Amino acid sequence: MTFPWLTTLIAVPALGAVLTALVPQGRSRLAKQVALAFAILTLGFAVAVIAQFDLGGDRFQLTEQNEWISALGIYWALGVDGIGVALVGLTAVATPIVALAMWPEAEESKRDPKVYFALLLAVEALTITAFVAKDLLLFYIVFEAMLIPLYFMIGMYGGPQRRYAALKFLLYNLFGGLVMLAAVIGVYAESADAGQASFLLADLMALDIPVETQRWLFLGFMLAFAIKAPLWPFHTWLPDAAAEATPSNAAFLSGVADKVGTFGMIALAVPLFPQAAEDFAPVIVALAVISIIYGALLAIGQTDMKRLIGYTSISHFGFIVLGIFALTDRGMTGSTFYMINHGLSTIALFVIVGFMISRRQSRLIADYGGIQKPAPKLAGAFLIAGLSGLALPPLATFLSEFLVIVGTFEEYRAAAVVATLGIVLAALYILWLYQRTMTGPVGEENADTRDLGLRETIVVAPLLALILAVGVFPRTVVDVIDEGVGPTLSDVGVEAPDPLVSVTDQAAEGDEE
Amino acid sequence: MPMIIVLSAGVIGVLVEAFMPRRYRHVTQVALALVAFVAAFVQILRLAGETELIAVSGSVAIDGPALFLQGAIVVLAFVSVLFFAERKIEAGGNAFAPSASSLPGSEEERILVRDRVLQTEVYPLTMFSVGGMMLFPAANDLLVMFIALEVLSLPLYLLCGMARRRRLLSQEAALKYFLLGAFASAFFLFGAAFVYGYAGSVRLSEIDAALTARVGQEGLLLAGVGLMAVGLLFKIGAVPFHAWTPDVYQGAPTQVTGFMAACTKLAAFGALLRLFYVALGGLRTDWQPMMWAVAIATMVVGIVVALTQTDVKRMLAYSSIAHAGFILTAFVAVDELALSSILFYLATYGIMTLGAFAVVTLVRDAGGEATHLSKWAGLGKRSPILAATFGLFLLAMAGIPLTSGFVGKLTVFNAAFQGGAMPLVIVGVLTSAVAAFFYVRVIVLMFFSEPAAEGPTVAVPSPWTTVGIAVGAAATIVLGILPGPLLDLAENAAVFIR
């Protein structure tokens, strides 16, 4: 038997969560160290998994399959394709960074920090499971179970309105999840009708579901994913959660955990119900465009930095969804790539804003100004993260946004044109935010703002390095993603218009323009 | 037979009450009850291996569903008796009034409390009630079913009135339960008489045969079915026959509430399933619409009214109503899948309900249990383990994955879906989403609120209760992660003998 890499990859953070929770009360420093060590260990295993991923190999690799609940045909079935491996990488990279960033967020004086760090590792384990699950019910279970630790993270450690935000987060997502449960059962019933009741994705995708049924089931799935992602008009929980959660928690939530929603669209909703996906694509594309513009406009109007970043996420998730439901090769590759880049840049933005808040104890933009004089490194890091957020070439986000728009243009011209406005607005909200907080006269309260400390530099440096590296050498990542996107689209019956390789070439040309 | 063991233990219990010196009674009664349950459980396991049979000249069916439910009832009753035997949290007394016949607030009561007189009649009463509950799902004719109904109900009426604290409330609950319960029993008997008039027999299999053989006189039959349904739906607390549930659950001693909520529901669902599946399966097109309506009403009313509750016990009462509704969604499917999913759901539901009520007994202030929700604020800060356990039970009731409640919901909704009751599944998931709100609200209160200034204390229970709650919590998690064995068991048990 081969080594169960993926199970190990899930077990390590899960074990870390348990051990962190078991650290005796009062030894909070030790608890944090244990958690960080396990996060780094997980990263190590993730690197091993990525290294073994064979480009041009099978669609799903490192597969494992064991019966879990045989009475219901539920399997512990894991496997990664190109999309999954990229997102696993994002999760594994993000967790130690976030863990380090949230070091001071849970002080002993307030609440026991070990719970916070244990919950973070638990979410990591569940998120990774979602990205590698090859069984629908397994995916569903972690999709729902993830809400509980996140709920406690927001509710126990967040800002003054945290209870409201946590409850809203939980109820929105639980509602979507329960509707999805009905659809999950519906798919299962279809498989039972076909002879062999199973939750295994491979079995379910082989089903020939009548179009009418497909539509209902697709809507059930999409509601859950659209809430999670979040897509307008199901987004209202995100700004509250982003504003009230601690900055690193918000970073992990919108940077990593929410990607499960868009991943679910690519990996489940589209391939399971290809016909329905095509039927509903125009509607979803329209919603995505609304999300892009709406999120961007509201971001411009915000006075609270964390809420602002929350709204930019809505705008960016709009791009991701747009790319997915353009149902073109470029669009989908761009979307997946966007998930990675948005993860990196959002985490960077939230984390840096978190550093600013920890200095000034205020989330309001109006309280800042001229920070770049006393704290040039902080301002510089913020600028790079921000520019990545507004998709400036050659930063990583640019290429993905470009691919999404090109991919969309092939199918929905108008949508692509309107979405381009989102890029302009992005420049506006990011640069204006920078201008209001970092430039201008230095206020008295801000005169002695500390610059980045050692821990903070360690947090920010790898993020910025990755943003630059992925932007300059996108090819590696894009090729891996293409491995997954091609087969997904052929499930839907869309022919890739060009050879896959040329996508990156064209994009590289785009870089030069 | 297991029922005989439990019932004779009840009889011995009565003798113990009469002849044993008072100070030995408590120990003896508890030991007797526990031993009897263990013996009955062993006997059930032995029977489960053998072939199915119809015993006692055809009036008792020992088959898969009956044994599964009997086993579950015995296990839950065993844990309930552990909770009944708790003496530490009431300073030497247990949860029951020293003497049920003493007037509340009287001098007599004060003396009894001062002398720490222990009331031990609860144990034989429990044994009789459990005996009735075990007979109920196994009853193979309408008369035995009625007798079982009475045997299980009458001791419960008494148990409800025996609370040590807030005795008037408790006695009111007992009276209410008795009056409404007597009505429901009468309805059942009336309905049974109608059905007898139609079929010429009270034997379930012969009623089934009569359904296919005879035509005409449908009115008599349908009236009978409706009346019997009233009697049984009353016991499971389905809307619109649920009105007693919150008052009785609130007034009864909490340990009894837990016992009643868990075991009675199992027994009554067992009887409901046997009656409608074995005897009236041929009539399903006639009663399915009624059950659809009842299921929807039960889910919606249970959940919506639960939203407004401010008392933990009342909230759990409405939640148990809602759970009856979830189970009924599968009930209408009338196939083996439905039967096995209901059996599984009942077992997991019983465990978490019993556990949740046991936790309620431990949160106390000067006046006894602090059941008002506002007093639970900040409990997570003062006693994190207790609050986390209660949170676990609540999450399980809300059906969050990785708890037994999720697997239960999945199986019943799956059965309903495959049985063609998709609208019921949709109502089910929507109400589940609403239900999550009030379960989570309690968690918010426990973990995210500042503790109330004069909040309740958490009593340190004796090992009895601790073990009971720990077992319940462990079972809730284990059945959520590895439900396979129990699901297989339920699947294998899901065939009625006719």
ipTM of this predicted complex? 0.84
Return the closest-CA partner of residue B152 out of B178, B132, B175: B132
Task: Show the tokens assigned to A48.
Answer: 């091993």
User: Is residue A72 within 8 angstroms of chain B, CB to CB?
Assistant: yes
Return the closest-CA partner of residue B476 out of B354, B360, B381, B371: B354
User: Is residue A11 within 8 angstroms of chain B, CB to CB?
Assistant: no
How do residues A124-152 score in pLDDT, each as one tens digit?
999 999 999 989 999 999 998 898 888 88
- Structural domain boundaries, residue A186: 5-512
DSSP string covering B285-322: HHHHHHHHHHHHHHHHHHHHHHHT--BHHHHHHHHHHH
Distance of alpha carbon A425 from alpha carbon A391, whole angstroms: 11
Task: Show the tokens assigned to B451.
Answer: 């503790």
Distance of alpha carbon B148 from alpha carbon A491, whole angstroms: 58
User: Is residue A48 within 8 angstroms of chain B, CB to CB?
Assistant: no
Distance of alpha carbon B266 from alpha carbon B133, whole angstroms: 8
Pairing of strands B363-365, B368-369: antiparallel
Beta carbons of A182 and B441 less than 8 Å apart: no
Task: Show the tokens assigned to A371.
Answer: 């920070």
Distance of alpha carbon B440 from alpha carbon B396, whole angstroms: 11
Distance of alpha carbon A511 from alpha carbon B155, whole angstroms: 82
- In the numeric block, the tokens 């530490």 are attached to B88
Asked if residue A224 lies in contact with residue A142, where contact means CB atoms within 8 angstroms, the answer is: no
Return the closest-CA partner of residue B359 out of B327, B322, B396, B323: B396
Q: In this structure, is residue B498 part of a structural domain?
A: no
Pairing of strands B363-365, B457-458: antiparallel
C-alpha count within 13 angstroms, C-beta hemisphere, residue A249: 30
Residue numbers in A near B429 (CB within 8 A): 178-179, 181-182
At A303 the pLDDT is: 85
At A107 the pLDDT is: 62
Beta carbons of B402 and A137 less than 8 Å apart: no
Distance of alpha carbon B247 from alpha carbon B245, whole angstroms: 6
Q: In this structure, is residue B143 part of a structural domain?
A: yes
CB atoms within 10 A of CB A438: 22
For residue B61, what is the enclosing H or E element? strand B60-62
Asked if residue A291 lies in contact with residue A349, where contact means CB atoms within 8 angstroms, the answer is: no
Which residue in A157, A178, A209, A221 has the most chain B C-beta atoms within 10 A of its own C-beta, making it the best mutation to test that interface?
Answer: A178
Which residue in B392, B440, B487 has the most chain A C-beta atoms within 10 A of its own C-beta, making it the best mutation to test that interface?
Answer: B440
First to last CA, chain B: 20
Q: Look up the pTM and report it.
A: 0.89
DSSP string covering A88-109: HHHHHHHHHHHHHHTTTTS-TT
Beta carbons of A192 and B418 less than 8 Å apart: yes
Distance of alpha carbon B432 from alpha carbon A10, whole angstroms: 29
Which residue in B400, B430, B441, B487 has the most chain A C-beta atoms within 10 A of its own C-beta, making it the best mutation to test that interface?
Answer: B400
Return the closest-CA partner of residue B359 out of B254, B436, B456, B265: B254
CB atoms within 10 A of CB A509: 9
Those residues of chain B that have pLDDT short of 70 are: 50-51, 56, 90-93, 215, 453-455
Beta carbons of B444 and A155 less than 8 Å apart: yes
Residue B354, classified by CB atoms within 10 Å of its CB into exposed (0-12), middle (13-18) or buried (19+), is buried
Beta carbons of B448 and A175 less than 8 Å apart: no
What are A67's strand-pairing partners? A75
User: Is residue A164 within 8 angstroms of chain B, CB to CB?
Assistant: no
- Structural domain boundaries, residue B229: 2-493
Residue numbers in B near A14 (CB within 8 A): none
Residue numbers in A near B440 (CB within 8 A): 151, 167, 170-171
Say if residue B2 is preceded by a cis peptide, omega within 30 of 0: no
Least CB-CB distance to B429: which of A179, A189, A192? A179
Least CB-CB distance to A141: which of B402, B409, B413? B402
Please name the residues in contact with A216: beta carbons below 8 A apart, sequence gap of 6 or more. Answer: A183, A186
Task: Show the tokens assigned to A337.
Answer: 């790539």
For residue A160, what is the enclosing H or E element? none
Beta carbons of A171 and B436 less than 8 Å apart: yes
Return the closest-CA partner of residue A107 out of A92, A98, A122, A117: A117
Please name the residues in contact with B88: beta carbons below 8 A apart, sequence gap of 6 or more. Answer: B459, B460, B461, B462
Asked if residue A220 lies in contact with residue A186, where contact means CB atoms within 8 angstroms, the answer is: yes
Chain B residue set in contact with A, beta carbons under 8 Å: 395, 398-402, 406-407, 409-411, 413-414, 417-418, 422, 425-426, 428-430, 432-433, 436-437, 440-441, 444, 447-449, 482-484, 487-488, 491
User: Is residue A18 within 8 angstroms of chain B, CB to CB?
Assistant: no
Beta carbons of B410 and A181 less than 8 Å apart: yes
Please name the residues in contact with B296: beta carbons below 8 A apart, sequence gap of 6 or more. Answer: B325, B424, B427
Task: Show the tokens assigned to B114.
Answer: 């001062």
DSSP state for residue B373 in the 8-state scheme: G
Residue numbers in B near A147 (CB within 8 A): 400
Beta carbons of B400 and A148 less than 8 Å apart: yes
* Alpha-carbon distances, residue A456 vs A241, A305, A354, A380, B238 (angstroms): 23, 19, 10, 13, 59
- Rounded to a whole number of angstroms, the CA Rg of chain A reads 22
Return the closest-CA partner of residue B78 out of B149, B119, B127, B111: B127
Task: Show the tokens assigned to A301.
Answer: 């109007």
Beta carbons of A178 and B407 less than 8 Å apart: no
Backbone angles phi, psi at B44, to 5 degrees: -65, -45
User: Is residue A137 within 8 angstroms of chain B, CB to CB?
Assistant: yes
What are B311's strand-pairing partners? B372
Least CB-CB distance to A141: which of B401, B426, B437? B401
Closest B-chain CA to A147 = B400
Beta carbons of A178 and B436 less than 8 Å apart: yes
Residue A208, classified by CB atoms within 10 Å of its CB into exposed (0-12), middle (13-18) or buried (19+), is exposed
- The runs of H, that is alpha helices, within B363-483 are 379-382, 384-398, 404-418, 422-448, 463-481
Residue A337, classified by CB atoms within 10 Å of its CB into exposed (0-12), middle (13-18) or buried (19+), is buried
User: Is residue A148 within 8 angstroms of chain B, CB to CB?
Assistant: yes
Tell me the three state secondary structure of residue A79: strand
Please name the residues in contact with A380: beta carbons below 8 A apart, sequence gap of 6 or more. Answer: A372
Task: Show the tokens assigned to B215.
Answer: 């035509």
- Report the domain count for chain A: 1
Percent of chain A with pLDDT over 90: 9
Those residues of chain A that have pLDDT short of 70 are: 1, 105-111, 493-513
Closest B-chain CA to A165 = B444
How do residues B18-37 score in pLDDT, each as one tens digit?
888 888 888 899 999 999 99
Distance of alpha carbon B70 from alpha carbon A243, whole angstroms: 53
Task: Show the tokens assigned to B97.
Answer: 């009034």
- Report the domain count for chain B: 1
